[in-house]
């Protein structure tokens, strides 16, 4: 029922009992107020009240009377400038609070450091942002006539930082640069339902060579360019890209979920396995890698057996093998038969002497 409908019903006093009149008045006030503050294409309304303010790295409460002056920009009664974001740290997803960023990140310094004569008020947004030309470029990148700005999104609202003046450029739909490299990604942010993602944003990554950058393998765990190897992986808080410094880009290859190797080393989840020989290393029961979160990581070479990056020193590497890969996975060496629950805890009850 909209506001006009409630008013029409309210005016027909003869058809409404006296007991229902207070309820209709309350419903009318709530409905009309909500409609007024959330009309499409209008900025949110924040009347006088107590709000969370981000002072360059920490949150504090402040009594503010706020006025919208631009895209996500508000001023208070003292002409301080704020950038609007939201605290989404409630895991239920039911409570979302506005947070007003007053300063660029500065370790929450809200005082004049007399020893070093640094005026931390220089971090105030009002000292840098040109309100009249401030606009959103999408994907949490903003600009005005002087600078580009980057909104780092975290559960408590994040922070705003200045990017290189007039140097920010989109390389493609997934990458951007301002001298540093960024990838477009998003975090899971669905109140624990497991079926949604948060707003997109750009995350800083190593300086990849875009022209030669390729993802390796169907699992998408590793990537490389002409000179370097990377771990390229999606987690619940978005996509991550790390430099794998020990890897040789010329010879590196992805050989299975989490597994990669070059001419010198073998890697599991980006961790280099000391002593495992890449020339003789094999993955045991590779057909199980997509279905079992333990046994995809059973590998061996001529001397060693590993479960993930943990060496199984009790196994005989030369005779260790996978003998079943149906609903139950079984391994054996010349001395023992191991059921699927033996790894990686090596409990005696989960193995038996081989006949």
Per-residue pLDDT in tens (0 to 9) along the chain, 355 residues:
444 444 444 444 444 444 444 444 344 434 433 333 334 457 788 989 999 999 888 889 999 999 999 999 999 999 999 999 998 887 777 788 999 999 998 877 655 555 666 677 889 999 999 999 999 877 788 889 888 888 888 878 888 888 765 566 777 778 887 777 888 887 765 444 445 566 677 788 898 888 898 888 766 789 999 999 999 888 777 888 999 999 999 999 998 778 899 999 999 888 998 888 999 998 887 655 444 444 457 889 989 998 888 888 888 999 999 886 566 678 899 999 988 778 878 888 989 998 8
- DSSP conformational letter for 348: G
pTM above 0.75, yes or no: no
- CA distances (Å), origin 4, targets 198, 218, 352: 36, 58, 79
Question: How many other β-carbons are positioned within 10 Å of the β-carbon of residue 62?
Answer: 16
In the chain, which residue ranges form alpha helices assigned H by DSSP?
3-11, 21-37
Contacts of 182 (CB under 8 A, 6+ apart): 150, 175, 176, 202, 203, 204, 205
**Six-digit token string for 273:** 């396995």
């Amino acid at each position: 029922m909209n506001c006009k409908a409630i008013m029409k019903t309210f005016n027909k006093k003869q058809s409404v009992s006296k007991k229902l009149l207070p309820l209709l008045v309350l419903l009318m006030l709530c409905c009309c107020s909500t409609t007024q503050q959330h009309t499409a294409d209008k900025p949110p309304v924040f009347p006088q009240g107590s709000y969370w303010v981000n002072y360059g790295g920490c949150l504090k409460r402040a009594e503010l009377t706020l006025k919208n002056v631009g895209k996500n920009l508000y001023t208070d009664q003292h002409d301080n400038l704020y950038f609007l974001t939201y605290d989404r740290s409630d895991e239920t997803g039911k409570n979302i609070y506005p947070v007003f960023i007053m300063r660029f990140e500065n370790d929450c310094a809200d005082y004049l450091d007399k020893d070093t004569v640094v005026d931390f008020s220089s971090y105030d947004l009002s000292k840098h942002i040109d309100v009249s030309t401030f606009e959103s470029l999408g994907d949490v990148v903003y600009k005005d006539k002087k600078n580009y700005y980057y909104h780092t999104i975290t559960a408590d609202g994040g922070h705003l930082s200045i990017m290189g003046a007039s140097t920010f450029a989109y390389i493609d739909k997934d990458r951007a640069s301002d001298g540093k490299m960024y990838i477009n990604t998003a975090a899971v942010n669905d109140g624990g339902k497991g079926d949604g993602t948060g707003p997109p944003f750009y995350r800083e990554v190593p300086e990849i060579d875009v022209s030669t950058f390729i993802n390796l393998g169907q699992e998408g765990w590793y990537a490389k360019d002409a000179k370097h190897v990377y771990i390229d992986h999606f987690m619940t808080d978005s996509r991550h890209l790390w430099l794998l410094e020990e890897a040789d880009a010329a010879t590196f290859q992805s050989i299975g979920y989490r597994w990669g190797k070059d001419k010198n080393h073998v890697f599991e989840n980006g961790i280099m396995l000391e002593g495992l020989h890449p020339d003789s290393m094999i993955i045991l029961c590779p057909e199980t890698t997509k279905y079992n979160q333990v046994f995809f990581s059973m590998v061996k070479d001529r001397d060693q057996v590993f479960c993930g990056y943990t060496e199984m020193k009790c196994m005989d590497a030369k005779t260790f093998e996978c003998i079943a890969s149906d609903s139950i996975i079984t391994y054996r060496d010349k001395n023992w038969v191991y059921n699927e629950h033996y790894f990686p805890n090596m409990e005696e009850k989960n193995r038996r002497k081989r006949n």
